[in-house]
Amino acid sequence: MPFTVIAVIDVGKTNKKLFLFDQLYRIVWEKSQQLPERVDEDGDPCEDVDELTRWVKDAVDEVLALPQFAVQALNFSTYGASFVYLDADRKLVGQLYNYLKPFPESLRRQFVEQYDPAGELALQTASPLMDSLNSGLMLYRIRHDKPQLFRQIRHALHLPQYLSHLFTDEVVSDVTSIGCHTLLWNFSRQQYHDWVVAEGLDRLFGQLYPADQVVGTIAGTQVHVGGGLHDSSAALIPYLASFQEPFLLISTGTWCISLNPFNAEPLTANELQNDCLCYLQYKGQPVKASRLFAGYEHEQQMKRLAVHFGVAPDYYKQVRYNEALVEQLRQAEPGRQQTKAGVILDSGFGERELGLFPDYETAYHQFMIDLVAAQVASTDLVLTDRSVPLSRIYVDGGFSHNPLYMNLLAAAFPQHAVWAASVAQATALGAALAIHNEWNPMPVPADLITLRQYTRTPSLPVQTSV
């Protein structure tokens, strides 16, 4: 008897993955592939959308043919800020442009002068102006810089919805993609912003479709197909499914993103200046978020420490948390936070003279004190909503396995229960859970997430499943 499963395509910038989850949301099969990039017409690196399309189709065909599994549903999670363009015949046109593609300063000034002279657009769209990271600005750029290409475009689909389209032929839009720093969505009016309509871009988008419903089926099968989700919003779903009590999630990686789905207060100018924005979660509610480039800074400083002390770059993994050393360093000099005009930039450790530290352990403890101070400042921006008391902070990703980070964070938030959370492939799992009611008659399991609590006074963390 074949196992009933859901297939999820999870597309990251580096790794493209396919997972099969059983009805208890355990991974029972997976494959992964790294695809080479190509360059766009300007010579900038970009995703090879043709190669990605081939890989996705082949991967789904492969799992549908596996006799030991009965695939009931298919969904997608991908990185955001990226459109795929189709012509009137639903053929690919243009490129899947990179969200790090340099943006012309003259075009940015033109946009601001025309649509944001009062500087209110960021507040209205819950997103700072971030050039190509705003997918709306990328489409604006095509309209003005590449008019011949723009005339060919009949449909603009964010990447998750493009992958769904490959199997359903439907053109839809989804709030988690529209609501991720696109500049497209007016959060207070719950509609496309006036500038989008003025430019005629709204005509290129499919109808908004609920992320918790399926769009259609794969031709010739009964496999239900979801519309796809933005990865950051998908990664939050296992937590929303597991916890009823209000919480904040710090998702750590290259970027450490503090996500508060229980903070409904409008963004302020100060929050926007400090790289805060709002996402839309899969049921349409805003999620206030702040970002810190902490994972990247950690990587760079580990290289610096390795060179200075003559050790391997991953030597930090051998350093145990030393509370007495932390107190000694704090008494010698309070942790300092590197800011410019009130904006949180980084820990400031890069300006410290390494020769002042007697050994690697001391230097690494000081770095983590500085880094967590910046993290606390970033998290504080989105932590509170006066109407919703919040007592739990969950940390997932790389830093959740770092005892210095976790103990220092717990000490910095003594009024909150701080937990290191572990969930296998949270982004893909979230995409599977989003359409749970469409394919899985069983209740959502209660043990999706494994937790270890850290307290102000370090002790052996208690591990539990919830």
pLDDT, one tens digit per residue, over 66-115 is: 999 999 999 999 998 899 999 999 999 999 999 989 999 999 999 999 99
* Bridge partners, 20 (sequence order): 7, 29
User: 138 with 158: CB under 8 angstroms?
Assistant: no
Helix axes 159-168, 49-64, angle to 10 degrees: 50
The pLDDT confidence band at residue 457, using thresholds 50, 70 and 90, is: low
Residues in contact with 281: Cβ distance below 8 Å, sequence separation at least 6, in sequence order = 176, 233, 236, 237, 240, 261, 287
Return mean pLDDT, the chain: 92
Residues in contact with 190: Cβ distance below 8 Å, sequence separation at least 6, in sequence order = none
The pLDDT confidence band at residue 226, using thresholds 50, 70 and 90, is: very high
Q: Domains for the chain: give ranges and CATH numbers.
A: 3-227 (3.30.420.40), 232-466 (3.30.420.40)
Looking only at the bridges linking them, the beta strands covering 214-217 and 417-422 are unpaired
The pLDDT confidence band at residue 410, using thresholds 50, 70 and 90, is: very high
pTM comes to 0.87
Assess whether pLDDT exceeds 90 at residue 464: no
Assign 237 to helix, strand or coil: helix
**How confident is the model at residue 320, as a pLDDT?**
96
What are the CA-CA distances from residue 171 to residues 165, 176, 272, 373, 425 (Å)?
6, 16, 32, 45, 27
pLDDT, tens digit (0-9, with 9 covering 90-100), for 347-399: 999 999 999 999 999 999 999 999 999 999 999 999 977 667 899 999 998 89
Residue 108, both tokens: 């940015």
The pLDDT confidence band at residue 291, using thresholds 50, 70 and 90, is: confident
The pLDDT confidence band at residue 185, using thresholds 50, 70 and 90, is: very high
The pLDDT confidence band at residue 267, using thresholds 50, 70 and 90, is: confident
Task: Concatenate the DSSP letters of all residues of 361-393 into one string.
Answer: HHHHHHHHHHHHHHHHHHHHHHH-BTTB---EE
Assess whether pLDDT exceeds 80 at residue 337: no
Q: ∠ CA 176-105-95 to the nearest 5 degrees?
A: 50
